[in-house]
Amino acid sequence: MGERELVLAAQSGDHAARDALVDMFMPLVASVARRYRGTPTLNRDELLQAGVVGLLRGLDRYDPALGTPFWGYASWWVRQAMQQLVSEVARPLVLSDRASRQLARLKQVHSDHVQAHRREPTSAQLAAGSGLGAPQVQSLLAASMRPHGLDEPTASEADDGSSPGDLLADPRAEDAFERVSTRVATGELTRMMGVLSDRERTVVRSHYGLDPPQRTLRELGVDLGVTAERVRQIECEALDKLRAVA
């Protein structure tokens, strides 16, 4: 039975098909769980259980007629289930019983809205659905968020896998690097540019004035949407490549 047929059978209530579908996608669920393996007080089995719950939620809401691959849709629900579990055990604040009940109400309103409208609700919609005030909704949402480590990869694919720590500006490092003398002659740089990626080539050529006008790290950071510190890291990686082929 192919994936599409298995999904349709599972949606029709075939328990054997649901079990087979879970077995089929368990390796992908496990790959998502690895992102949270450093969470204190959570073990792999607990993350996998949450992932299966998310997978089945996705199955119940999946519409094959839209043409979206099943995992492409269900993976969002798998991540959401794991993130919810992690946030509950890693929450930086201890909520009162009343606040916990209000947060549970918010989560239910959120789930109902996503199921009905297939999109995330706004804070105003959460407030209207839960009967809570907008400031109270904001406070509860902030309290429920999981803190992110500075070395945790960001979600943006355009950021070359950088972490929040990479995106924090360090003026002392930026100013110091601006004063470092160029150790590779511009003539050699032009000859060896082929070993660099497009982004590295842009940074090097602009910072050293090969494509006038010469740009500072801060100016390049604005163009690339990252900090000057991240531009410095990209340039250092590029110079290491150039030295290796010099």
What is the predicted pLDDT for the residue at 45?
A: 83
Would you call 68 helix, strand, or coil by DSSP? coil
What are the CB-based long-range contacts (under 8 Å, 24+) for 13-16?
A: none
Q: Is the peptide bond before 164 cis (omega within 30 degrees of 0)?
A: no
What is the predicted pLDDT for the residue at 107?
A: 84
**Distances 93 to 37, 123, 180, 239 between C-alpha atoms, Å:** 21, 21, 45, 45
CATH C-level class of 1-90: mainly alpha
- Cα separation, 190 vs 207, in Å, equals 13
pTM for this one?
Answer: 0.40
Spell out the per-residue pLDDT of the chain, length 246, in tens: 788 899 999 999 898 999 999 999 999 999 988 887 776 667 788 888 889 989 999 999 898 888 888 998 999 999 888 887 777 665 555 566 677 778 888 888 888 888 888 788 888 899 899 898 888 888 777 766 655 544 455 554 444 445 555 555 444 444 444 443 344 444 555 566 778 888 888 888 888 777 778 788 788 888 888 887 788 888 888 877 777 765
Cα maximum dimension of the chain = 69
Q: Is 191 left (phi over 0), alpha (psi -120 to 50) or beta?
A: alpha
- Cα separation, 229 vs 207, in Å, equals 13
Contact 140, 109 (CB under 8 A): no
What is the predicted pLDDT for the residue at 24?
A: 93
CATH code for the structural domain at 157-245: 1.10.10.10
What is the predicted pLDDT for the residue at 158?
A: 42
- Cα separation, 226 vs 138, in Å, equals 28
For CATH 1.20.120.1810, the residue range(s) in the chain are: 1-90
What is the predicted pLDDT for the residue at 55?
A: 92
What is the predicted pLDDT for the residue at 237?
A: 84
What is the predicted pLDDT for the residue at 157?
A: 41
What are the CB-based long-range contacts (under 8 Å, 24+) for 80-83?
A: 80/54, 81/50, 81/51, 81/53, 81/54, 81/57, 82/32, 82/33, 82/35, 82/36, 82/47, 82/50, 82/51, 82/54, 83/36, 83/146
For CATH 1.10.10.10, the residue range(s) in the chain are: 157-245
CATH C-level class of 91-147: mainly alpha
Report the amino acid identity of residue 215.
R
Q: Which residues contact 154 (CB under 8 A, 6 or more apart)?
A: 161, 162, 163, 164, 167
Contact 117, 170 (CB under 8 A): no
Distance of CA 166 to the CA centre of its chain: 15
